[in-house]
Amino acid sequence: MSLTIADGMVVSTHYTLTDEDANVLDSTDESGPMVYLHGADNIIPGLEDALTGKTVGDRFKVRIDVEDGYGEVLTELMQVVDIAAFEGVDTVEPGMRFESENEDGEFELIVVKHVEGNKVTIDSNHPLAGMVLNFDIEVIDIREASSEEIEHEHVH
Ligand code: ZN
């Protein structure tokens, strides 16, 4: 009997993610398969919905709108900070990425958008926020999660 994807399953997939102009944004070719716990908000809602009910060997394409992906770009996640905040960095330039710990103790990626004198505009939106995402995805493995994985809401 083959398993189908449902809540409480650990799912392994290969995928290629492209934007609306067919530029490859991400692919499991280099990073190895994406393994996640289904039904625990480990992945974006649009992708989780598309995978529900699929089985090993299924390969399909899905186009995910902004609201079912990483959401809109939020201006409140853009901030202007003093360059003194980048202590130890020789030259602060647009495009630089930093990891920063937020109030909840989670690490988030900060991208430098703009530098003018001592003022640096930083953006902590998800890099894929505001984008329509096209996945070409293949299910390569499904197994039942352990009770510990379910409790922790992630794969061990
Ligand atoms: Zn854990």
Q: What is the predicted pLDDT for the residue at 31?
A: 86
pLDDT category at 67 given cuts 50, 70, 90 is very high
Identify the residue with better confidence: 1 or 84. Answer: 84
Q: Which long-range contacts (CB under 8 A, 24 or more apart) does 73-76 make?
A: 73/125, 73/129, 73/130, 74/125, 74/129
Q: Quote the ligand 1 centre to 117 CA distance (angstroms).
A: 44
CATH number of 75-123: 2.40.10.330
How confident is the model at residue 115, as a pLDDT? 96
**Amino acid 1: pLDDT:** 66
Check pLDDT > 80 for residue 5. Answer: yes
Q: What is the CATH number of domain 9-69+129-152?
A: 3.10.50.40
pLDDT digits (tens, 9 = 90+) for 85-126: 988 899 999 999 998 887 888 888 899 999 999 999 999 999
Terminal Cα-to-Cα distance of the chain (whole angstroms): 25
Cβ atoms of 135 and 16 within 8 Å: the answer is yes
CB within 8 Å of 131: residues ≥ 6 apart: 19, 20, 25, 66, 69, 70
Q: Which residues are placed with Cβ below 5 angstroms of ligand 1, an ion?
A: 152
Spatial distance between the Cα atoms of 120 and 67, rounded to a whole number of angstroms: 29
Residues of the chain with CATH 2.40.10.330: 75-123
Distance 36 CA to ligand 1 centre (A): 12
Model confidence at 61, in pLDDT bands (50, 70, 90)? Answer: very high
Residues 17 and 28: their CA atoms lie apart, in Å, by: 9
Numbered ranges of CATH 3.10.50.40 in the chain: 9-69+129-152
